[in-house]
Each structure stands twice: as C-alpha cells, then as structure tokens.
Amino acid sequence: FQHTVEMVNHTPDPSGESLPIRYLILCSTVPGVFNLGGDLELFSRLIQKRDRDGLFGYAKACIDVLYPNAVNFEQDMTTVTLVQGDALGGGFEAAISSNVVIAEKSAKFGLPEVLFNLVPGMGAYSFLIRRTSPDLAERIILSGELLTAQKMLSLGLVDEVVDDGHGEEAVVRFIQRHQKRGNAHAAFSRIKKCVDPVTYEELIQITKIWVDAALQLRDRDLRMIERLVQAQNRRAARRTEPKAMEGLG
C-alpha cells in the first residue's frame, strides 16, 4: 500500500523530476485498531499527583502531533485518514483532523471521555464543528456514543465507507480522482483556511481548559479510567496476538 501511494505521489513531471508530495495517509498496521486513544494510565497518575505541568505537557504533545496534520503541514498537501478498526478518544480526534476520512464498514468511532466525567480536549470540538454543526458536535462529545462508519458517513464526518479489506484500494482511487482537479482542490483548501482556520492558539486554549477540568476529577472518575485502561489493554492484546503468533511461525 505504501509503495502504491508513493508511486501516485511521485509521478514524474515532463522534466523528469519528481513532483512534491501531495498526499499524506494516516493508517494503522494493527488489525482491527486504528487508534485506541491516549495513555489513560499516565493521565490518571498525573491527576492523582496533581501534576498540572505534566498534564499540560501531555496534552500539548498531542496537539503538536495533530495540528500539523490539520493544517496540511502548511503545504499544498491533502491529508487522508484510512480507518480500519476502532478509532477512540484521541484516535477519533486524529482521524477527523485530516481533510478526507475513508473508513471500512466495521470501523467504530467514539469519544468515551464523558464516561469518566471529562470531555476530549485535544481537538475534538474544533475538528467536529468544522465538519458538522455545533449542536451535533456537542451531542457526540457529551453522549459518549459509539458510532459506526455508516453513521459517521451520514453525519458528514466520514467521506467514504467501503467494504472491509478494500480501504487501501479506496485511498488509491481517491488520490487518482483528486489529482485530476488538483489545482481546484488546492485553491479551495486555501480558501477554507482563510475563512475558517484551525489555529494552534485555539487548540492550546482548549487544552488549558481541559487540564483545569481534569484536575477536578474525583476518585470514582479515576476508577472508571482504570476500568477503561483494563478494557483498552485487553482489546489491544486481542488485536495484536494473532500478528505475534504469525511472526513466531
């Protein structure tokens, strides 16, 4: 898949030189998992220690990863997310930070933070309201509901849903179609940045609010985080074990 995309991106121009990279694809190599979110165990320890600086550093590190993708690395580049599996918490935020989101049918999306009395603070609201209405963004965040790929498509949060096992082909097809009108798409992307830009300052300000809220969590909230960590670890173990077994063969 990587080789195929690189071939699409580096098509030689008439002078014989390669064109600049125009597409960046976010995807996962772990079957059934796109991204299960942040390090909840670390997050819980920092809260228990009342470590405000540590929490802010944790959150800022997340922003420093997501923001460049959200602004196309300040290049005439299109960012694409391919979701094959679960995209939860920070994984949900990472997925929708791209210009284009393609998901396989079995993919699931969710923001579980409200289950432990918090809200996501690393870009969820900023990215959601630029794809849908503020009311819908609020409902998604405060419900903690797990959303199917088809539901995400109906809400305008996913651009294409394909059968399982066909996500990579869909990304290549998208790039081939997109390139035919590349100049128009690049100009439109610049217009969107002028009218409704995602700024680093906005994300950092929200992160500070998130840190303040995280420090207000009580013991029962931290116990819920612990249960989620255990569930996250079990899911990760189930997803990676078959691959490890294959390696032993």
Q: How far apart, in whole angstroms, are the C-alpha atoms of residue 244 and residue 220?
A: 36
pTM of the model: 0.86
Reported as a single tens digit per residue, the pLDDT across 186-239 is: 898 889 889 999 999 999 999 999 999 999 999 999 999 999 988 877 876 765
Whether residue 66 has pLDDT greater than 70? yes
> Mean per-residue pLDDT for 65-69?
95
Return mean pLDDT, the chain: 88
d(CA 159, CA 78): 14
DSSP 164-199: TT-HHHHHHHHHHHHHHTHHHHHHHHHHHHHHS---
Task: State the amino acid at position 122 in one-letter form.
Answer: M
Residues forming beta bridges with residue 104, ordered by sequence position? 162
Alpha helical stretches, state H, 181-248: 182-195, 200-214, 219-248
pLDDT digits (tens, 9 = 90+) for 156-194: 999 999 999 999 999 999 999 999 998 998 898 889 889
Structure-token pair, residue 100? 């284009």
Show the tokens assigned to 95: 């997925």
| pLDDT of residue 65 exceeding 70 | yes
